[in-house]
């Protein structure tokens, strides 16, 4: 009987150690997957930053040419001496009245007014 108890104790200890080892490995595996995912994200960010750095280097090289300087300045809104620059602001499109006051709206005109006054404009 003592031998059976001794064997059972050893089996229980073995199972506990095996279970704890499995849990530790499972946690480590989860952390490893998170680190791999983060590494992939960082590599993508790095390649994006490298592309941006190359583009900025090209723009710096372009600043040595007078034609490119003029093109960049015009893109930024500057003009030559004596030129008149017109800045046109395009208004936001207005939705049709049928959409604003359509029958498919779920709230009444009074509720819309209350929402407008209280700042809870729901679309």
The pLDDT tens digits for 66-106 are 888 888 888 887 888 888 888 788 888 887 777 776 655 56
Instruction: Give, in order, the Cα–Cα distances in Å from 39 to each of 29, 43, 48.
Output: 15, 6, 14
Confidence (pTM): 0.40
User: Which residues neighbour 7 within 8 Å (Cβ) at sequence distance 6 or greater?
Assistant: none
Whole-number Å distance between alpha carbons of 48 and 7: 61
Mean pLDDT of 38-44: 94
pLDDT value at residue 41: 94
The per-residue b/e assignment along 49-58, b for 16 or more CB within 10 angstroms, e otherwise, is eeeeeeeeee
Whole-number Å distance between alpha carbons of 60 and 64: 7
Instruction: Provide the strand spans (E) within 3-117.
Output: none
Res 108 pLDDT > 90: no
Mean pLDDT of 51-79: 86
- What are the structural domain ranges in the chain? 2-85
pLDDT value at residue 123: 53
Handedness of CA 94, 95, 101, 107 (dihedral sign): negative
**Average confidence score pLDDT of the chain:** 82
Q: Is 63 within 8 Å of 72 (Cβ atoms)? A: yes
pLDDT value at residue 42: 94
The two structure tokens encoding residue 18:
């095996």
Mean pLDDT of 12-17: 88
């Amino acid at each position: 009987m003592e031998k059976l108890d001794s064997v059972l104790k050893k089996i229980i200890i073995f199972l506990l150690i095996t279970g704890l080892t499995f849990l530790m490995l499972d946690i480590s595996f989860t952390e490893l997957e998170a680190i791999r995912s983060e590494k992939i994200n960082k590599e993508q960010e790095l390649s994006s930053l490298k592309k941006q750095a190359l583009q900025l280097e090209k723009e710096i090289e372009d600043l040595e040419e007078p034609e490119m300087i003029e093109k960049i300045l015009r893109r930024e809104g500057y003009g030559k001496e004596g030129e008149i620059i017109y800045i046109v602001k395009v208004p936001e499109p207005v939705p049709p009245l049928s959409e604003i006051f359509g029958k498919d709206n779920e709230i009444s005109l009074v509720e819309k007014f209350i929402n407008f006054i209280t700042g809870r404009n729901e679309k």
